[in-house]
Structure 1
Amino acid sequence: MELTSYHDSMLSLAAPFVALGLVLLTRRVVLSLLCGALVAALLLAGFSPVDTATLLFDRFVAIFWDDGALNTWNVYILAFLLLLGILSALLTISGGTRAFADWARNHVKTKRGSRLFAATLGVVIFIDDYFNALAVGQIARPLTDQQGVSRAKLAYLIDSTSAPICVISPLSSWGAYIIGLIATVLASHNMAAEGAFNAFISMIPMNFYAIFGLVMVFAVAWYNINIGPMKAHEDNAANGQLYNPANGEPAGDMSISDELSNGSANNLLIPIFALVVSAVFFLIYTGYANLAAADQPFSIMGAFAETDVALTLLWCGSIAVFVAFVMMMPQKPSISHYTGALKHGTQAMMPAVIILVCAWLLVGLIGSLETGKYLASVVGDSIPHNALPAVIFIVAGLMALATGTSWGTFGIMLPIAGDMAAATDISLIMPMMAAVLAGAVFGDHCSPISDTTILSSTGAGSHHIDHVTTQLPYALFTAAISFIGYLVFGLTESIAAGLVVGFICLAILIAVLRQRHGNA
């Protein structure tokens, strides 16, 4: 089937706008994603009903089976979600979650401490955003639940640390991917001697959104700043209602009555430790295997660049479930305890699986519409060169918002940023690429169709739409300050000036928000 091209048309924005608009109007995520996918398919198929139905069916099948082979990335991610649900059920049934909450109550005795614990954990686990979002939720949720922190607040703490820390960490799956793209951009402009790794390191202080976003997270955790709809969630949580029960149980959460009474905190800590250690091992091992297959020398950075994240998650999830299974054996559980974990864990993750599959369907169709290329094309030659970093930041943000993928935005926008810098002022190439990274994370934080946003909701046990609407004000405030920072940089040609002005603005903002919306 020949698809209609929309890379130079505003119609390429129709599908993401329909999906985003319906999500905010109806708060029904799956319906909104499917409506956006239908609009995209109609456009691509030239409004032919038969071709539209065929295209939708083919793209749905391709999520699981593509080019005559299993789509291992998607299938392994979904399998990891189900494994994590089963792991969570095992931890609950064993009594490990309750025991850890009891331990935490004696050691972390305040809401502030539980929020800071979650935020710090989000920074410490920097190897991959998917893993970060789900692992931090599993570890921190018993503590934040115990202290009456809303699930929406936990989801914000998870999401707003995972991507920002991954995007500035060279030893992460994000860092490795970005360094590989930077190497290509530099080579195309005869700047390979700069070194992609050195370029990445030099761009860290230029990534204003990641830096200011992390500072904002810890300020919110310390002062309990509740902007917009977050206040209602926190007020309800203080009265024992961690999420809105009218919307049912959120993905990743479960109610289990058949819990063993002789569990200990080790029933939770040891499987989680196995999850983290095996994740690090397999991230390096799968990268090593891919390097060896390509007859390339081994290095840690090379391994992270070539690692198979999806396969790693499948392995570490399987190992953690096995460890949790073995840890329960001395407690003499019945067969029904194990079958119950399988049932409850799978059921708890099904909403997340459905949302993620629908998001992948929509994102794939948006890619065919070439929405990203259209958004990039709106940046014309008439823009003053000193405004380019600020403009690139906004365009990258809009692209990530509309497409739901920061990695896809990196892939499209980094080469464009390099070309624009070469055509205007080559000294801007690093700041402009850093602005792309910053904008992509910002847009990803705002997008309800982002897989990392979905997984952060799942890890926190929060309703997805509640996470999207409560995180949005924080992301917009941080983006506004980042935009000011890039404007100051453009005017002064000084990264330090941009950072200083940004930090001053952020300090003023935090002081005002603390006065109006904060409490301990």
Structure 2
Amino acid sequence: MSPSLLAIFPLLLTLTLALFLRRTLVALGVGIVSGALLIAQFDPLQTGRYLLDIGVKQFYAQGAWQAWHLNVLLAMLLLGSMTQLLARGGAVGQFGDWLYSRIRTERQARLGVVFLGWLVFIDGIFSCLAVGHVCQPLSQRYGIRHEQLAYLVDSNASPLCALLPFSSWGPYVMALIAGISFLPVSPLEAFIDVALFNFYAIVTLGLSVLVAWYGVGFRSFVAPTEVKSSNAVEAKGNPWLLAIPMLTLLLASVGLTLWSGAQQVSSWDVSLWLAKADIGASMRDACLLATLVTLIMLGLSGRRLTALVGDLSHGVRMIAFAIAILLCTWMIGAVIQDLGVAKLLAAWAKSYLSPHLLVAGMFLLCAIMAFATGSSWGTFAIMIPIGAEIAHNLDPHLLLSVLSAVMAGSVFGDHCSPISDTSVLSATSSGCAPHDHVVTQLPFALIAACSALVGFQLVNLEVATPLVWLAVVSCGLGLFALMARFYSPWPKLAAQT
């Protein structure tokens, strides 16, 4: 085996194991160890020292603590604890009870599901679990099919998190982006730029609103008279147990970020504030403040201290897997850098890959990988560093567009995968089979994916941004209109009602 192929072997092994075992953490672990063995020339003692060295460097390097890594990990731990406090403390259920008393029609019920998904923006998995379970009684009351509920839940979970820097996805993705040494802007600015061109996520959110408004693709299973007659008992509920912590997180994230940047510059230019902001510390402090507010509100509502401590520990356990993946991602990034894999791949791409197909091709590649692995986060971990290196060598000004394609393709593939955790949780929390959810969601996902593919190819061809968005929106609306005219996934059931 040539030295070039030998250097790329750990990456190929990681990708193969991720595709066939569908266990991202195992695949990353094997890739790290195999790469360390190559670097240490298969000396077990040197391999152990190298692994210990790159592990320690994620927290302490060159005589200083790695503040970014530590802040990201703390923010993720706090977000995991906060989600469990809200879910197990009854805040989500209380909000659902409040919501029921204000809904009178099936359309309002569908829009209520979307609205709740937007409010619970903190984490994709938490959104799937919380919104699905809370809105099941709402769907039964107003005759919304379980499959439609699952679609509305899933479409407003991961896509929304992929666009918001103050969700649990934000610190994770910004940590990956911060590892790109040639990044032209700050990690926060890069995240925002990437989100603004995440065509798949944005179109998916728009389609969910259209589906909620028009009810396209799904038919009610309860007649309107039955819906009204079943609307007898009104639950009051308290919306503030959920709303205040979420608003605290949102406002504190934005406020602390701007404040940290404003301390570094004398100008009143907000873009300079964002460029100089300490994102990690701001996210950490915002998460801490929101978690403390959640604890206080739940305590005042009657939740016992022992229960709150149990909720916190459960949250830490729930987020531990994501943290382990992030740590392995940082370590395999160090291994790949020491092996020179990214530069090798970029050189091959420069020789054999057309720059005119780079962005759209990256979208399709990441979609296939996320579909096969069922993990958008795992695809981010592997493909963001590689995609960035390829773009940097082929066409540097397409760097952020390629990262947008990685994000969009990963979410699309995850949406279509029957083994994705969000697909399974959206279905089970909504009361339908995962297979039925994936099949009925697929047409909507394909509409968004086709629109995104058009957009990414036009970006690759350097078409003006307004024209790109015009093409994306026109494609999405046109395909949606065709589906509204000709498609219904439940024709037989609809005919029986």
Give CA-to-partner distance per residue, 1:317-350, whole Å, 9 cap, x none. 22223323333455565xxx12321223222331
Q: Structure 1 CA distance, aligned partners of 2:446 and 2:45? A: 41
Match of 1:369 in 2: 336
Maintained 8 Å contact 2:197/2:401? yes
Match of 2:9 in 1: 11
The CA deviation at 1:45 is 3.6
- TM-score normalised to structure 1 length: 0.62
Q: Structure 1 CA distance, aligned partners of 2:388 and 2:249? A: 30
Match of 1:351 in 2: 318
**Which consecutive residues of structure 1, in runs of 5 or more, have no partner in the other structure?**
126-130, 187-196, 228-234, 236-261, 420-428, 449-453
Match of 2:290 in 1: 320
Alignment of 1:383-462 (within 5 A): 386-387=356-357, 390-391=360-361, 404=381, 408=385, 412=389, 415-419=392-396, 429=397, 432-433=398-399, 435-445=401-411
Q: Structure 2 CA distance, aligned partners of 1:97 and 1:207? A: 29
Match of 1:266 in 2: 240
Q: Indicate how the Cα distance of structure 1 residues 457 and 483 shifts in structure 2: closer, same or farther if over 3 A, else same.
A: closer
Query: What is the SS of the residue equivalent to 2:238?
Result: coil
Query: What is the SS of the residue equivalent to 1:81?
Result: helix
Q: Indicate how the Cα distance of structure 1 residues 387 and 458 shifts in structure 2: closer, same or farther if over 3 A, else same.
A: closer
The CA deviation at 1:142 is 6.5
- TM-score normalised to structure 2 length: 0.64
Query: What is the SS of the residue equivalent to 2:101?
Result: helix
The CA deviation at 1:102 is 0.6
Maintained 8 Å contact 1:402/1:447? no
The CA deviation at 1:461 is 12
Letter in 2 for 1:287: G
Maintained 8 Å contact 2:380/2:406? no
Q: Structure 1 CA distance, aligned partners of 2:413 and 2:44? A: 29
Maintained 8 Å contact 1:482/1:502? yes
Q: Structure 2 CA distance, aligned partners of 1:72 and 1:226? A: 48
Alignment of 1:33-48 (within 5 A): 33-48=28-43
Q: Structure 2 CA distance, aligned partners of 1:81 and 1:184? A: 23
Q: Structure 1 CA distance, aligned partners of 2:161 and 2:279? A: 15
Maintained 8 Å contact 2:423/2:438? no
Q: Indicate how the Cα distance of structure 1 residues 265 and 152 shifts in structure 2: closer, same or farther if over 3 A, else same.
A: same
Q: Share of identical aligned residues, percent?
A: 18
Indicate yes or no: 2:160 matched with 1:161: yes
Q: Indicate how the Cα distance of structure 1 residues 72 and 217 shifts in structure 2: closer, same or farther if over 3 A, else same.
A: farther
The CA deviation at 1:103 is 0.3
Aligned residues: 429
Maintained 8 Å contact 1:418/1:433? yes
The CA deviation at 1:17 is 0.7
Q: Indicate how the Cα distance of structure 1 residues 384 and 115 shifts in structure 2: closer, same or farther if over 3 A, else same.
A: same
Q: Work out which of the residue numbers 50, 54, 57 in structure 2 matches 1:55.
A: 50
Indicate yes or no: 2:91 matched with 1:117: no
The CA deviation at 1:263 is 8.1
Letter in 1 for 2:269: S
Q: Structure 2 CA distance, aligned partners of 1:410 and 1:306? A: 26
Letter in 2 for 1:380: K
Q: Structure 1 CA distance, aligned partners of 2:282 and 2:150? A: 27
The CA deviation at 1:511 is 5.5
Match of 1:299 in 2: 269
Give CA-to-partner distance per residue, 1:251-303, whole Å, 9 cap, x none. xxxxxxxxxxx9833233223322222222211122233x25xxx64532122
Alignment of 1:122-201 (within 5 A): 143-144=134-135, 147=138, 154-164=153-163
Q: Structure 2 CA distance, aligned partners of 1:476 and 1:367? A: 36
Q: Work out which of the residue numbers 78, 82, 98 in structure 2 matches 1:103.
A: 98
Q: Indicate how the Cα distance of structure 1 residues 409 and 470 shifts in structure 2: closer, same or farther if over 3 A, else same.
A: farther
Maintained 8 Å contact 1:94/1:263? no
Maintained 8 Å contact 1:118/1:158? no
The CA deviation at 1:60 is 3.6
